[in-house]
């Protein structure tokens, strides 16, 4: 009994921390453009016979960071991978419902996933730089999509992308060295630079900091906030503090359902769903 009380108290502490984090980020304007970038209606995802996502409808805004939170196995990553059709690479995965990017259904017959993924970039949980030089890693996207007309333009794109990923100063003298030789945080920023260089409109991030130490995490979070100026960013995270720090809107997933979706501040201070409250106060998850 006593233990439970403690847990509740601790959970309330966590919620308070998150609320404090919201209050403490003064640089970030909490307002959003309000323009809808991705419009999802009744999305269902199943792996064979198991349903991973049930009836999810959500509007993701442009030039804002949207966070997906929820306990492990709640389907938030699965849903994220629907947004750029990464689930297509898994044979048994089936997606129904409507997901529209700028008004066009991305699961329509005539939509090419290759083209879609160029518009909706993705950064993964574990940094996965290609075993190539730093330069080639970043130039990979522009090269396959023919974004640069000549070497000078390509150099330019690489430099700007690395700058956007706040990595330029650290690597500008060793662009020809393998990307796998960087530290974990640097590798993740390289992956972000790689995604940025492809010039996407939306950036999906699947727990981008879970494999990183706190300092690297702080750097990435700062970076996400920068990226918000140009992209619609969707981030899946395990850490409620992180969601509170970087996002403007937050969606709470539980057992394949999206239970609540609202302004981040509201979710963490006055959630309307009981499960959300339980989760952010640490009673499960």
Partner 1 sequence: MTTTVDFNELSAKHTGDANKSRLRARYWAEMRLKAYGIAAIGIAAAALLLLVSTIATKTANVVYEYYVQLEGQIDVSDRDRERLADPNPRMRANLRRVVQGSLTDAIPGEIGRREGRQLTGLVSGDAGLFLGDRVKAEPDLVGQTARFDALLDDNMQLYLKGAIGRPDAIDSAGVLSVAPGEEEGTVVVRFGASEIGPIFGAVRAQRAEDAERARAEQRRQQNAVDVTEARLLAAETDEERKALTTQLERFTTARERAEVEANALDRLATSIGGGTRYELTGRDPSLLFKVGDGWIKITEVERGEGLGQVYLPLGDRAEFEEGDWQAFVMARPEGERLQTDRQIVWMEYFSDQGKIVRAFNTRILSSSDSASAELAGIWGAVVGSFWTMVVTFLLAFPLGVMASIYLEEFAPKNRVTDLIEVNINNLAAVPSIVFGLLGLAIFVSGVPVNLFGNEFTIGGFLPRSSPLAGGTVLALMTLPTIIIAGRASIRAVPPSIRDAALGLGASKLQTATHHVLPLAMPGILTGSIIGMAQALGETAPLLLVGMNSFIQEPPGDPLAPGNVLPTLIYQWNSNSERLFDDKTAAAISVLLIFLVVMNALAVLLRKRFERRW
Partner 2 sequence: MLPYASLLIALLACTAFAVCRQRAVTSAEGKLASLHSRPAYHGLYALLWVAIAGFGTFIVIDIAATAIMNASLYAMIAERAPDLRPIEQSLVFTDAIKLATGGVSSTVDDLRETIAARYESVNFTRVLAISILGIAAAATAFYVTYHQVDRTFRARHRAERILRTMLWTAATIAILTTVGIVLSLIGETIIFFQRIGWNVDDFVFGTTWAPLAGVQEGSLDPSKVGAIPLFVGTLMITIIAMLVAVPVGLFAAVYLSDFASKQTRAWAKPLLEILAGIPTVVYGFFAAITVAPAIRDFGASIGLSVASESALAAGMVMGIMIIPFISSLSDDVINAVPQSLRDGSYALGATKAETIQKVILPAALPGIVSAVLLGTSRAIGETMIVVMAAGQGAQMTLNPLDAVTTVTVQIVMLITGDTEADTAAAPAFTLGFTLFCVTLVLNVVALRVVRRYREMYD
Q: In whole angstroms, how close is the CB of 201 to partner 1 at the nearest point?
A: 5
Question: In this chain, which of 33, 96, 115, 177 binds partner 2, going by CB under 8 A?
Answer: 115
For residues 118 and 243, which CB has a smaller minimum distance to partner 1 in the complex?
Answer: 118
Residues whose CB falls within 8 Å of the CB of residue 185, separated by 6 or more in sequence, listed in order: 212, 213, 215, 216, 217, 219, 220
Report yes or no: 63 and 231 within 8 Å, Cβ to Cβ: yes
Question: In this chain, which of 99, 122, 157, 246 binds partner 2, going by CB under 8 A?
Answer: 122
Q: Which residues in 211-250 contact partner 1 (CB under 8 A)? A: 230
Residue 262's alpha-carbon distances to 60, 85, 132, in angstroms, are 11, 25, 41
Pairing state between β 232-236 and 202-206? parallel
Q: Looking at 17-25, 52-60, 156-164, 254-262, which segment touches partner 1 (CB under 8 A)?
A: 156-164
Report yes or no: 125 and 211 within 8 Å, Cβ to Cβ: yes
Question: In this chain, which of 124, 222, 278, 285 binds partner 2, going by CB under 8 A?
Answer: 124
For residues 145 and 238, which CB has a smaller minimum distance to partner 1 in the complex?
Answer: 145
Q: How many CA atoms lie within 13 A of 229 on its CB side?
A: 8
Which tokens hold the place of 34?
Answer: 């309000």
For residues 72 and 229, which CB has a smaller minimum distance to partner 1 in the complex?
Answer: 229
Which tokens hold the place of 38?
Answer: 């991705």
What is the distance between the alpha carbons of residues 196 and 260, in angstroms, rounded to a whole number? 30
Q: Which residues in 137-196 contact partner 2 (CB under 8 A)? A: 140-141, 144-145, 191, 194-195
Q: Looking at 50-58, 64-72, 116-124, 277-285, which segment touches partner 2 (CB under 8 A)?
A: 116-124
Nearest to 19 by CA among 277, 285, 283: 277
Q: Which of partner 2, partner 1, none binds 211 (CB below 5-8 Å, type-dependent)?
A: none
Q: Summarize as ranges the residues that interact with partner 2 (CB under 8 A).
A: 84, 86, 89, 114-119, 121-124, 126, 128-132, 140-141, 144-145, 191, 194-195, 198
């Amino acid at each position: 009994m006593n233990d439970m009380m403690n847990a509740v108290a601790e959970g309330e502490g966590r919620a308070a921390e998150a609320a404090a984090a919201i209050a403490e980020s003064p640089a970030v304007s909490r307002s959003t453009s309000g323009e809808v970038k991705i419009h999802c209606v009744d999305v269902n995802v199943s792996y064979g016979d198991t349903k991973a996502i049930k009836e999810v409808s959500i509007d993701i805004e442009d030039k804002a960071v949207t966070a997906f939170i929820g306990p492990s196995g709640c389907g938030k990553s699965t849903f994220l991978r629907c947004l750029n059709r990464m689930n297509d690479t898994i044979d048994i995965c089936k997606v129904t419902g409507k997901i529209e990017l700028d008004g066009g259904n991305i699961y329509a017959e005539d939509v090419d996933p290759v083209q879609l993924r160029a518009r909706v970039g993705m950064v993964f949980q574990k940094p996965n730089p290609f075993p190539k030089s730093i330069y080639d890693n970043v130039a990979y996207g522009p090269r396959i999509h023919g974004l640069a007309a000549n070497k000078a333009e390509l150099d330019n794109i690489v430099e700007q992308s690395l700058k956007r990923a706040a990595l330029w100063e650290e690597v500008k003298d060793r662009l020809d060295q393998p990307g796998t030789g960087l530290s974990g945080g640097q590798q993740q920023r390289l992956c972000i630079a790689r995604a940025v260089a492809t010039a996407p409109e939306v950036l999906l991030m699947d727990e981008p900091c879970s494999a990183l130490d706190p300092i690297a995490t702080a750097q990435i979070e700062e970076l996400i906030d920068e990226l918000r100026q140009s992209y619609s960013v969707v981030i899946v995270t395990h850490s409620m503090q992180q969601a509170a720090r970087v996002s403007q809107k937050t969606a709470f997933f539980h057992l394949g359902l999206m239970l609540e979706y609202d302004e981040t501040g509201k979710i963490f201070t006055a959630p309307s769903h009981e499960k959300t409250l339980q989760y952010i106060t640490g009673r499960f998850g």
